[in-house]
Amino acid sequence: MTTDEKFTTLKKRLKHMDRVIIAFSGGVDSTFLLKTASMSGLNKVMAVTGVSASLSKEECAFAKNMAESFDVEYRTITTEELENTNYTDNAPDRCYHCKKDLFVKLKEMAATENFPFILDGTNEDDSGDWRPGSRAAREEGIESPLLDIGFSKQEIRDVSKSLGLPTWNKPATPCLSSRFPYGHKITVEALGRVEKAEEIIKKFGVKELRVRNHSEVARIEVLPEDFSKIMDRPARDEINNILKSLGFKYVTIDLQGFRSGSANEELDS
């Protein structure tokens, strides 16, 4: 199918569902799915964001503002993955336990309020990546229409641009727990430290970045073209001093530059 044919098929499928809950992160995929649902003539569309310390305040606010710009109901629910040692011990299947908690809560909401379908924004490209959360989706009967229809990430971005969505070129924004190497315990305090560190670096005009938390070491990933933004003084001194004040003993920059999912590199080694 062409991209236009896929988009037409998506709208028809969503309309047929009539009442849906969409697991909404405010990212590229779930925003595209929510926007499409809002314009497809369904009887009821509800966007729900799972909120915990692993979701940055910036992303939480963005999701709220994005959802409220559409003609849908919006809610947040508190997820409890940080009370689960299977999550905080940070094994490679960490995301499974987070998504399991979210989807179980969404199923309870759907049953109470008569929503026959719960959707997520998984797309075709995700099928080739390490996605433990997909197992939780299958177990809980979550529908993934973008995956089923065969939407690639680029197609989603292209249609999002044509729809005027500000997320069409939004960088990937995984949860803050993705900044911790597998096996490094995740705590609320450590998540807060990473969040504050990234907020500081963004002040210097850096949009795509990660501050990887290696206990005493902060390993900063930015695009190579942004190296000078944080390496030239006085930015370098300010970043170094503030990150050390947050509790990092050493502050480093990764010379490979930013790359999404670098925590999974150890799985391939």
How is domain 176-268 classified at the CATH fold level? Alpha-Beta Plaits (3.30.70)
3-state secondary structure of 49: strand
Strands 217-222 and 44-51: unpaired
pTM (2 decimals)?
0.90
Model pLDDT for residues 33-72, shown as the tens digit of each residue = 999 999 999 999 999 999 999 999 999 999 999 999 998 9
CB 65 within 8 A of CB 100: no
CATH superfamily, domain 3-169, is: HUPs (3.40.50.620)
In eight-state DSSP terms, residue 61 is H
pLDDT at 128: 63
Looking up tokens 């999404």 gives 260
Q: Do domains 3-169 and 176-268 have the same CATH topology?
A: no
Indicate the pLDDT class of residue 268, thresholds 50, 70 and 90. very low
**Residue ranges per structural domain of the chain:** 3-169, 176-268
- Could you give the CA distance from residue 250 to residue 247 in angstroms, rounded to a whole number? 9
